[in-house]
Chain A
Amino acid sequence: MEWNEILTAIFLALGVLISLTGSLGLLRMPDFYTRLHTAGKSDSLAQTFILGGLIFVTDNWQVAVRLLMIILLLFFTAPTATHAITKAARLDGLEPWRRG
Chain B
Amino acid sequence: MRYLIFVVLLAGFFGLLSGQFHNGFLMVVGALCIALIALISARMALVDEESYPDLGTWVRMSLYVPYLFWQIVLSNWDVFKRVWDPALPVSPQLVRAPFSTRTAFGTVTFANSITLTPGTVTIEVLEGEFLIHALTTEAADGVKDGSMEAQVKRLEGAIK
Contact = CB atoms under 8 A, between A and B. Distances in A.
Interface of A: 18, 21, 24-25, 28-31, 33-34, 36-38, 40-42, 44-45, 48, 62, 65-66, 69, 75-76, 78-80, 82-83, 86-87, 90, 96-99
Candidate in A69, A79, A87, A98 with the most chain B CB atoms within 10 angstroms: A79
Interface stretch (B44-52, B97-105, B113-121): B113-121
Nearest to A82: B115
Contacts, number: 94
B115 A98 contact: no
B118 A83 contact: no
Given A25-B83, A69-B16, A82 B121 contact: yes
Contacts of A18: 76, 80
B94 interface: yes
B128 interface: no
Interface of B: 16-17, 19, 69, 72-73, 76, 79-80, 83-84, 88, 90-94, 111-113, 115-119, 121-124, 131, 133, 135
Contact of A86 (B80, B90, B113, B123): B123
A28 B112 contact: no
Contacts of A62: 16, 19
A38 B46 CA distance: 36
Contact of B79 (A38, A82, A98): A38
B92 A80 contact: no
